Every structure is written in C-alpha cells, then in structure tokens.
Structure 1
C-alpha cells in the first residue's frame, strides 16, 4: 500500500513539474524531466508549439450555404407522385364543391343506385316515393307490432317473476308468523303454569297458616276452659268445706 501511495505521489509531482515547464519553460525543470516518458511528452509539446507558430489563418471560402439544404429537398420533390399530388388534391376539391353546389344525391333502391342532381328526380320518382312511403309505413307498423309483442312478452315474464317472488315472500312471512305464534303460545302456557303453581302454593300456605291459627285459638280456648273448670272445682270444694264446718 505504501509503495502505491509513493508511486501516486511521484506521478503527481512529475505532472506538476511538466505543467510548470509548459507554462514557464524553466531550465531547472528540464533537468528534473530526465525520464524517457517525460522526454517523449516534451518532444510532443515542442512539435505542437512549432506547428502553432508556423500556421497561418485562412479566410473562409465563399460558398452558397442555402444550396446545401435545398438540393436534398428538390431531389426529393422531383418524384412523379409529388408532382401530381397538388393537382389531384385541387381536382378532388373542385369535384366536391361541384357536388355540393349541384345538390347531387345518391340513393340506394331495390333496382340499384340512383344519382340525381337538385330536385329533378322529384317528378320522375313521385310514384316510387309514394310506394317507398307506404313501404316505410308498413315497415314501421310491423316494427311497432314486433316491438309491442316483445314488450308484452317481457312484461308478462316480469309479472310472472314478481308473482313467484311475492309467493315466496308470503310463504316466508307465514312460516315466520307461525313460528312466532308457537313461541308466544309456549311462553304464555309456561307463564300461566308458573303463575297457577305459585297461586296454589300461596293458597296452600294460607290454608296451613289458617289451620295453625285455628289450632292455636282452640288450644287457648281449651286452656281457658280448663282453668275455668279448675277454678269452679276449687270454688265448689271450698264451699263444701265451709258448709261442713258450719254443720259441725
């Protein structure tokens, strides 16, 4: 790597020395350029310098500049089709103008092509015009009849499709309504059963509670009666004892 860098630096120094010699022509630089490569470059530079010193300025020759570009165009325009092109275009333009001015009409019939100028063919083709009008009317009537048939058929098909769609939709609605009714009925039955069950439970609880209350009231009455009887018995016993004592 260092050798390559040294070589690059040496070549740069030699190039700078050669440039200084070209610009200044110093003799000290000539001694520095002792290499064969730089000697060949020096000889080339001297030759170029001598040639430039001995060369003389020459005046520009007088020549027709436009002819250089016009010759090619003229040679191309000398073909046969390029000569007839303007004439043919002018002729076709005049022919088209004449067709417009004379009102030339080209019509196609069953017999062939008919070429007419202006309104000259009105009288000659009066009958054919009437026939053509009648044919056109008949054709229009046929087309209208066909069109009405097509429309009727399409409308009938559309009506049938709509009927099928409505029938399917009605069936779907009926099925959905039946399902909803079944769900509602099952819900009502389950709810009523639950309510009846709760009502029976409440009634049984009420009856049991009433029985308990009746039993309690009866027990209280029995106890009161028992106490009354005991009290009467005690009172009778005491009265008997008093009588016995008085008799004695």
Structure 2
C-alpha cells in the first residue's frame, strides 16, 4: 500500500465509502483501517446501520386532522390594551425628556403679551432694567471722572500757588541784595511794581483757574463757579480763598 493512501484521513475514506466511490487501493486501505482502528470500525458500523435503516424505511401518509379545531386561535388574537399600556408611551416620554433638556440648555423663554406668544433663546432683560443698568454705569463713570478732575484741579492750583510763592521769594531776594541807597531811591517804584505785579498775577491766575475749571466742568456737565475777572463782581480774594 502506498503512502498516498495511508495518509488519507478517516473522514475522507468514510465519505468515499458512503458514496460508493472507493477504488481498489482505497478499499484495501479502508478495510485495513477497520481492522487496525477500533474507533474507525465503530464509526463505519454506525454509518452502515444508519444507511440500512434509511434504505429500508418506507414513506407513509400523514393522517388527516382538523387544524382549525386543534388549536384555540381566539386566545392569540390581538387584544386591545388600555391607553396607559400603549407601547408608544415610553418613546413619547423619551422625546419629552429630550425637549426639556433642550429648553434648559438653550434657556428657552416663552412669553405671552397682549394675546401673543413670543419664543426666545437666552436670558432677556426688560428694557427698563437695561436702561437702569446703563444709567448706573454712566453715573459711576462720571463720578470717577469727576474725582479724577478734582485731583487734577487741586494739583494745578497747588502748582500756581507754588509759582506765586516763588515769585514773591525772588522779589524778596532782590530787595535784600540791593543796597540801602538803591532801596531808598527805588522804594516807591518797587512798591508800585509789586502792587501792579500782584494785580497782574491775580488776574492771570484767576483767568487760568477759570479756564481750567470750565474745561473740567464741561467734561462732567457742571457749570463753572468762578466769576470773570473783567466783571464788576470779581473779588480778588477769590484766588486767595482757593
């Protein structure tokens, strides 16, 4: 027996035997395995018995029976269910849940006014509230600007006062450095010069303060409080008071 038939599997030999397609060499190998392999021999015996039963079995007719009366089909007919057992109710609940989540996430607002419904997304404040918030912001901004202007005005006034003090100091130093004879000769002229200079400085500083305060008052919407130096109601002590 060649190695080709010795290497053939038991399943292939069994299939060829059942189909009655074994040649002489395959049949010899088949018989040899039946003698040497007990498991293969039992498998062949079982297949042989099954084949004999299949060949000897005869067909028989099915008995006549009434199918309509054998089963109670009324029991399996569709029965109407109550509305709370409706199969679409869970789906409707899920849809309503998604709608509620959408309304919460988008901050959906539904308002009724004068018989009309309006739908909007996001938080909407009434116009009156918005106007109050804007007015409050403007007032805070103006108050902050006014405080800043007051600080600037105080600094500017201090600068003018320092300048006036410096001028007075320079005049004093001039008088001290001059000789006694020159002081006697120029005493009357110096007094007149000091008075004129003081008057001019007061007018100059008053005009500067008036212009500066008008500029600040224009920014905060207030009227200036200083009186014009050219008017009859001007008081030269106003500068000293400031």
Normalised to the residue count of structure 2, the TM-score between the two structures is 0.31
Structure with larger Rg:
1
Higher helix share: 1
Higher RCO (CA < 8 A, seq sep 6+): 2
Normalised to the residue count of structure 1, the TM-score between the two structures is 0.30
